[in-house]
Structure 1
Amino acid sequence: MFGLPFDTGHVLALRVFPENDFGPYRTLWHRDPGGHWSIYVDGPRLDTACPRYYGPACDHTGHGRLDLEWVGPATLRVRLDSPVLDWRLTAVETPLLRLLNSVNGTLPLSTWRSTTMLHIRERLASALGIGRLHLAGVMPSGHTGILMPQRMYLIDDATATLDGTDLGRPARLGENPTIGDVPLPARGVLAIGQAVWEIRDPQEYARTCSETSTAA
């Protein structure tokens, strides 16, 4: 779940990585109306999940159990144990998205290395009402990353409660919400694809691989 802003000022996002260099994980991101970010990790380590790259822009990072259940053909229910979150969202594919998804799915991964192709994809995202979107850039931690959505769907129908508080209705914002300097979609978007975050320091990479191998 690339990002979903609500009319109350809350923002939710979800990341599910069943495969990566350091081990599978899920994360739930939450921004409150005051602009404070939290990331909750369902996985063995915080430093091999999203907090490694986005943690410096957060007020809180910690562990939590995330349960995901498809309760309809395109309706996902997301539950977090602490804080208690119950979130339902329904994805839709518009005719324009159906066309873009079919084209994007045929392009090789090598096209994501092209700055020109990245900018084209970002401009197409803007045409969908997603706003100013950067698919590649510097994360709050200083690492570089590329998000590579191969299929995208819009989210206009969703409900969510957090510790009993109703987060409101999905919104389409005039400005993109940001985590650090990284913009998230200005309207609800679910994306399926891949992502790469580069650890340029070879010692950091070798140390992380060694630590995760030992833990396993």
Structure 2
Amino acid sequence: MEKLIVEVLLLALKAIGTACAVWIVGWLVGQVVKYMVTKLLGKIGLDEWMRRLSVGRAIRRTGYSAHEFMGILAAWLMYAIFGVLGIYASGYVAGWEDLTLYAYTALVVYIGGFIKLLLIVIAGFILADVFVGYIYRSTELRSEMQMLYPLAEYLRIVLYIAIVVFGVEQSGLGVGVLPQLLQPIIWGVTAIVVLFMVYLIVQSTKAPRQPV
């Protein structure tokens, strides 16, 4: 009995040691990736380009520049990947098949799906901002801009929602109820924009007062 307990403890220590070793390597890899991504994106002038987009301005509100934010994001992705790999390695060393299966599923389905979703959302949001920015640049008249602003922002929101739904579907995360949950939001935003447009039309049709 004592021999069995000792074997189990040694096996557990071996599994924990393996996981810790993988996690340490993952932390080092994350730091290297963070440094490389930050330096590379900083040199190519990502901040200047992202500052023109809504996504870039949202990133600035977090207190980080665009290249710093991307570096931190890349580092945390490495931490997550190696975190799951550490669990997988510990289960493999100890012969715990259920643990390795759970870790493999988490790595392939959830982390892999999240990376797909992240790439689709970032690329899609940037393209949506570029498209809406092109709409704004298509007019220079103040009266037209007043009417165009709510429509352009409504289009931006709808594009964002469509991109998120598409990203979730392509990622394979299995959030099938998301489109149904977003439908009330879309209808609510649509109603607000329609009411605001009606208000602007009514205001524009009012005749200006003649000076006495």
Q: With structure 2 as the length reference, what TM-score do the two structures score?
A: 0.21
- Structure number with higher strand proportion: 1
Higher relative contact order (CA 8 A, sep 6+): 1
User: Would you tell me which structure has more helix in proportion to its own residues?
Assistant: 2
